[in-house]
Structure 1
């Protein structure tokens, strides 16, 4: 996702900022965990899927419970034209239950003909909807989360082996997760056991923190990248996110705008968590 984000920032970044100069990279086998509110998570994942399909030619599988009704406003308002054929590269799959999600992912290799273009990106939107269900014990939620991401990795490895024969990009995995503290009244400082499990499998973490702006601005988030799978962060340490932050602003019409941030200004804003790289 990190290389795709470079394209997203360049395409949808503010014209007043030098977002076009941003270049990010990750290890080829890196997968990404997007952590934040489910609504902003989904918006970012949709932009990533559309950008991967339209700008990079990737075939994308997008797993989500909720029906996708229309293109994001950000894409509709973009001055860059979107080729209609590129949307055909995205396949939306709507598993309603954990069992359906596991079956869809596990049977993916059976649905891919030898001569068909292989998926280069697997996206699971809102994994908490499949893991953190009512009355499920905590230890069961942890094992379920591990099961999902392990299966995704196995599937991506299978697709990677197949892609090497056809000289296609290796398959990447993106999973989004809304922690208990985001919109559910949980304690933001309490350890999230499911999040800890997901982090073991997903080498890059993309945090989206709601910004509390004293000037009264609404709908702003701080996007922060960290993790051992990240390269080119300028610090030599992928665990840190200094210099790897962006302000994500949602315009009144719902469009997202990305603005590079060197570091959050403490005198003008606050975020919900003080440590981008290790909140739990």
Structure 2
């Protein structure tokens, strides 16, 4: 997976030895509506922007209205200016943007993010179109990795909103999982029913890697607290183990929940390529 997202969930700690500059396998971020996918993508963007290896390319169909600003990283204008927002509004525009990535001036991105893949797939329900979008995303990330060279590789995280439980699977989910060997599922946390909004993040990095889980809680003031999932709350399969619980947690503000927020046009300059909605 893109290690920037793992570091967000690990409360800023390193993902492990020997991962400097390594982006990890492409990741599919999955969750039902209001599972804070956009917030986690943006937190990963801030994390990657602070590494100094290259800008972050954030693709979404529509401009964000507000950003989380209750952390030092989110208040760092230097990091914000390294996040390049682009808004392809349709599948043809998305494909054109990816196909012309080699023509874009400036340094190669160290992280490629796509929010709301399900909205693009809703335009065309064909499996061939979904496979083409996935393949072009992978090719674009590989091209950026080649340009980065010895400084590292380009990570890829794609958010796909899944239907509510009982409403069936997301379109072409099985097909997409073939392209994205790592998946992070965001699910309602049964142990957090008394909280305002509580999720369980389960990361599957690959067949040979154990599942890692975190509890993600959104507090009334809009902060997001992340802690390792308690081992007694998980039921690992015989070939998978759960991580040890820890007391350290991280907090940041979620942009799609209530809390202190500021409009984009008050903090972003034209260097980000972001325009706020009117």
TM-score normalised by the chain length of structure 1: 0.73
Deviation string, structure 1 residues 118-175 (Cα, Å, up to 9, x no partner)? 1111111010000024xx44xx1x22221111001111222222222xx332112110
What is the CA distance between 1:193 and its match in structure 2? Answer: 5.1
Q: Select which of 99, 102, 106 maps to 2:92.
A: 99
Q: Select which of 23, 37, 41 maps to 1:41.
A: 37
**Structure 2 residue aligned with 1:89:** 82
Q: Structure 2 regions of 5+ residues with no counterpart?
A: 241-278
**Structure 1 residue aligned with 2:143:** 158
Alignment of 1:57-206 (within 5 A): 57-72=53-68, 76-78=69-71, 82-112=75-105, 116-133=106-123, 136-137=124-125, 140=126, 142-164=127-149, 167-181=150-164, 186-187=167-168, 191-192=169-170, 194-206=172-184
Q: Structure 1 regions of 5+ residues with no counterpart?
A: 14-18, 230-236, 267-273
CA contact (8 A) 1:6 1:24 kept: no
The number of equivalent residue pairs is 234
Deviation string, structure 1 residues 28-73 (Cα, Å, up to 9, x no partner)? 551111000354111100110111102454311100012112222x
CA contact (8 A) 1:3 1:24 kept: no
**Structure 1 residue aligned with 2:222:** 254
Q: Give me the CA root mean square deviation.
A: 2.9
Question: Quick one: structure 1 residues 38 and 193, their matched pair in 2 at CA, closer, same or farther if it must change by over 3 Å?
Answer: closer
**Structure 1 residue aligned with 2:273:** none
CA contact (8 A) 2:23 2:152 kept: no
**Structure 2 residue aligned with 1:3:** 3
Q: Distance in 2 between matches of 1:25 and 1:222?
A: 27
Question: Quick one: structure 1 residues 173 and 261, their matched pair in 2 at CA, closer, same or farther if it must change by over 3 Å?
Answer: same
Deviation string, structure 1 residues 94-123 (Cα, Å, up to 9, x no partner)? 1111111111111111123xxx31111111
TM-score normalised by the chain length of structure 2: 0.74
Question: Quick one: structure 1 residues 246 and 111, their matched pair in 2 at CA, closer, same or farther if it must change by over 3 Å?
Answer: same
Question: Quick one: structure 1 residues 181 and 127, their matched pair in 2 at CA, closer, same or farther if it must change by over 3 Å?
Answer: same
